[in-house]
Amino acid sequence: MNLPNTLSLIRILLAPVFLFFFLSDSPAQIFLSFIVFTVAALTDWYDGWFARKYGFSTRWGQFIDPLADKILTSSAFIGFYMMKQKDHNFLGTAEFIPVIVLIAVIIFRDLVLTAARSVQELRGKEFRTSMISKTKTFIQMTFIFLIIGLVSLAAILAEGGSVSLSIINYLHSDINYYILLLVTLLTAASGIAYIFESGETETRKI
Per-residue pLDDT tens, the chain, 206 aa: give them.
566 678 888 999 999 999 999 999 899 999 999 999 999 988 877 666 566 665 666 666 667 788 888 899 999 999 999 999 999 999 999 888 999 999 999 999 888 887 777 667 666 666 666 677 778 888 999 999 999 999 999 988 866 678 888 999 999 999 999 999 999 999 888 888 777 766 555 444 44
Supply the pLDDT for residue 82: 95
pLDDT of 204? 47
Domain extent listing, the chain:
3-205
What's the fold here for domain 3-205?
A: Four Helix Bundle (Hemerythrin (Met), subunit A) (1.20.120)
Measure Cα distances from 116 to 63, 108, 112, 188 in Å: 9, 12, 6, 15
Q: pTM for the complete prediction?
A: 0.86
